[in-house]
């Protein structure tokens, strides 16, 4: 697959999927007439910017790893090899963690509990998707190599020792 085509596919995926979840929906929630459940952090709210930047960096690193594997994070255009490099050596779902950090960072910056609630709903939806669809699909596609990866690497929280995966 030519590099430009791969780059464009990943850009489109980023705009439509994480872009919708982490950018569009939070904007719509902030502009909505729904209760915002405000909380006050004062100047400490700018810590949210660091949280959001961390999320963007995590997402970007993971996207780069997918591109190096000549694929996209989209299930319909997944890489032909199991991605176990970069942050995927420590947790199985770092890209989702990055997106959640972006949402949490916005909740802190804007001091709104509504975005904290939204982040919890997004995490629950993603967790359910991972368990019901993603993990069984990866197990079917990659067999024993995925099962070994699953045993070595935590789903959401890094394990204490460095995993023995390639």
The percent helix, strand, coil of the chain (3-state, each to 5) is 70, 0, 25
CATH number for the domain spanning 121: value is 1.20.120.1630
Give the residue-averaged pLDDT of 144-152: 94
Report the chain's mean pLDDT, rounded to a whole number.
92
Residue 161 · residue 151 · CB < 8 Å: no
Percent of the chain with pLDDT over 70: 96
Under 8 Å CB-to-CB from 62, ≥6 apart: which residues? 73, 86, 87, 88, 94, 95, 98
Q: Is residue 110 one of the residues assigned to a domain?
A: yes
Residue ranges making up the domain that contains 93? 3-152
Q: Is residue 107 one of the residues assigned to a domain?
A: yes
Q: Is residue 165 one of the residues assigned to a domain?
A: no
Q: Is residue 126 one of the residues assigned to a domain?
A: yes
Q: Is residue 27 one of the residues assigned to a domain?
A: yes
Q: Is residue 160 one of the residues assigned to a domain?
A: no
Q: Is residue 129 one of the residues assigned to a domain?
A: yes
Work out the pLDDT band at 5, boundaries 50, 70, 90.
Answer: confident
Q: Is residue 159 one of the residues assigned to a domain?
A: no
Residue 42 has pLDDT above 70, yes or no: yes
Q: How many domains does the chain have?
A: 1
Q: Residues 86-138: pLDDT tens digits?
A: 999 999 999 999 999 999 999 999 999 999 999 999 999 999 999 999 999 99
């Amino acid at each position: 697959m030519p590099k430009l085509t791969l780059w464009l596919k990943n850009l489109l995926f980023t705009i439509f999927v994480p872009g919708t979840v982490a950018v569009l929906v939070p904007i719509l929630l902030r502009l909505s007439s729904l209760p915002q459940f405000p909380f006050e952090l004062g100047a400490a709210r700018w810590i949210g910017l660091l949280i959001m930047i961390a999320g963007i960096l995590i997402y970007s690193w993971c996207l780069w790893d997918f591109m190096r594997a000549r694929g996209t994070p989209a299930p319909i255009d997944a890489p032909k090899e199991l991605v176990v490099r970069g942050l995927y050596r420590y947790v199985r779902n770092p890209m989702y963690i990055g997106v959640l950090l972006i949402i949490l960072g916005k909740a802190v910056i804007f001091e709104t509990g509504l975005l904290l609630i939204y982040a919890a709903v997004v995490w629950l939806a993603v967790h359910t998707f991972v368990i019901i669809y993603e993990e069984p699909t990866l197990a079917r596609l990659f067999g024993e190599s995925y099962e070994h990866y699953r045993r070595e690497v935590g789903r959401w929280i890094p394990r204490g020792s460095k995993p023995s995966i390639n």
